[in-house]
Amino acid sequence: MSTTTAPGYIDLAGTEKVPLSRLVKVEVRKALDTRAGFWFAVSIVALVLAVEVIFAFAASDQDRTFENHLGIAGAVLGYFLPILIIMLVTSEASQRNGLVTFTLEPRRPRVVLAKFLAGLVLAVAVMVLSAVMAAVGMLIGRGDEWGVDGNLVFNGFILSAVVSVLIGFAIATLLMNTPAAIVGYFAYTLILPTAVGILSALSDWFNDLAPWIEFNTAQTPLFQGDYTPTGEEWAQIATSGFIWLVVPLVFGIRRLLRIEFK
């Protein structure tokens, strides 16, 4: 196609696509380069440290195991990680920089993928830091039970963090507005399980149904007991996850791919 010599023809042969790795790197940077993003990330880690220290002093001797310290860190992360992801996605519309982001990379699915991968990178970084905080908590509390159940690490820590990144992603793409998405997230994560809990207490029938349709409730076995959901519990995670994660995610991503950034 180099035979074309019409004036103003642009030869693209020498130009590479923007590699996905570079898009991910830029998205990670964008999550941390504003005051809001940076201090929120710092606050999450600081909050984990504070909770670990309190636990180190407050817990009884036999409870001060590394496993418990880790579980607490995972629970705190699960609450706040999604908000970091929400801000990363919704700011494109709320702060209007999507105009530039999607002009520099008009292939939107690549930007969406880059944002999701950036969310995972941030989640892993925060998890590693939290594990360090858990170790600090152990040292402060002079705990000596360092053994860790692999199921806890995988189910209670890694899997739940990935799920929370996805939840943040789904709510963010669906609402595309920072305050609305954060309110929506807390409604989903705090109000919804409370309401379901009340209904469950009133009705046995609903109590049986709840874990099948409410994602927070269904995930409880990931953090409790032997950190290993039974077959039925996995099925509950799958059905409620389909309702609260897969469906919103599909609609949200469809929206992000089509929305006209103004």
Closest approach of Cβ 99 to another protein, in Å?
Answer: 4
Closest approach of Cβ 247 to another protein, in Å?
Answer: 25
For residue 181, state whether it binds another protein (rule: CB under 8 A).
no
For residue 3, state whether it binds another protein (rule: CB under 8 A).
no
| CB neighbourhood size of 157 (10 A) | 26
Strand partners, 169: none
Cα distance between residue 75 and residue 78, in whole Å: 5
Which residue do the tokens 């801000």 mark? 87
Closest approach of Cβ 251 to another protein, in Å?
Answer: 19
For another protein, the binding residue among 97, 194, 203, 224 (CB under 8 A) is: 97
227 with 152: CB under 8 angstroms?
A: yes
Nearer to another protein, 114 or 138 (CB): 114
The binding track of 12-41 with respect to another protein, each residue x by CB under 8 A or -, is: x--xxxx---xx-xx--xx--xxxx-----
For another protein, the binding residue among 2, 6, 142, 150 (CB under 8 A) is: 6
Residue-by-residue DSSP string for 182-225? HHHHHIIIIIHHHHHHHHHHH-HHHHHHHHHH-HHHHHGGGTST
Q: Is 203 left (phi over 0), alpha (psi -120 to 50) or beta?
A: beta
Please count the residues of the chain: 262
For another protein, the binding residue among 3, 62, 106, 139 (CB under 8 A) is: 106
For another protein, the binding residue among 65, 68, 91, 130 (CB under 8 A) is: 91
Window 108 to 167, contacts with another protein (CB under 8 A):
none
| CB neighbourhood size of 99 (10 A) | 12
For residue 9, state whether it binds another protein (rule: CB under 8 A).
yes
Binding-site ranges for another protein (CB under 8 A)? 4, 6-10, 12, 15-18, 22-23, 25-26, 29-30, 33-36, 91, 95-100, 102-107, 260-261
